[in-house]
Amino acid sequence: MSISNKDYDLLQPDGYSYILYSEENNTTYHKPLANPLQLKHSQFVVKCRPTYVDHLTQNNITIQATNSDEFLAQLNTPKLKDLTPSILDSIIFHLHFLNENTSLKQLSKRYQCDTKNIENLFKRSVGLSFIQYQNILITLRRPTY
């Protein structure tokens, strides 16, 4: 998606990771956000699974491009496409798509992980606590009138 209607737009928190590429040949990574992210005119935005940015930083993978076509081509390389989803990806998929509020204890039983391990994975990989992340999802599910 490219922002071009105004000088900037706000990306509301939705629990996903984002990679932003700007005209200045600058690529930035953003873990799931607790606050809106300001997007500048003519930035390219790639929405990723919530743990993707952590996978990139953990594996010291940087995306360097001199134009938007090169940026998009790099996202299609085997090195980036082959990043293996983790147990946290499964847990987050569960939270997003089963559309239910689940406790750490329930997730611990279902995915056979310690609750402290799940909480630590959220803090390290996502940058938010489990409760903060779940609150974002709850806010997104509320009907707006």
- Within 8 A by CB and 6+ apart from 83, the residues are 52, 55, 56, 59
Instruction: Report the predicted TM-score, pTM, of the whole model to 2 decimal places.
Output: 0.77
d(CA 10, CA 45): 12
The tens digit of pLDDT for each residue in 63-75 reads: 888 888 888 898 8
The tens digit of pLDDT for each residue in 21-37 reads: 987 778 889 988 778 88
Residues in the chain predicted with pLDDT less than 50, given as ranges, are: 1-4
What's the per-residue H, E or C state across 58-78?
A: HCCCCCCCCCHHHHHHHHCCH
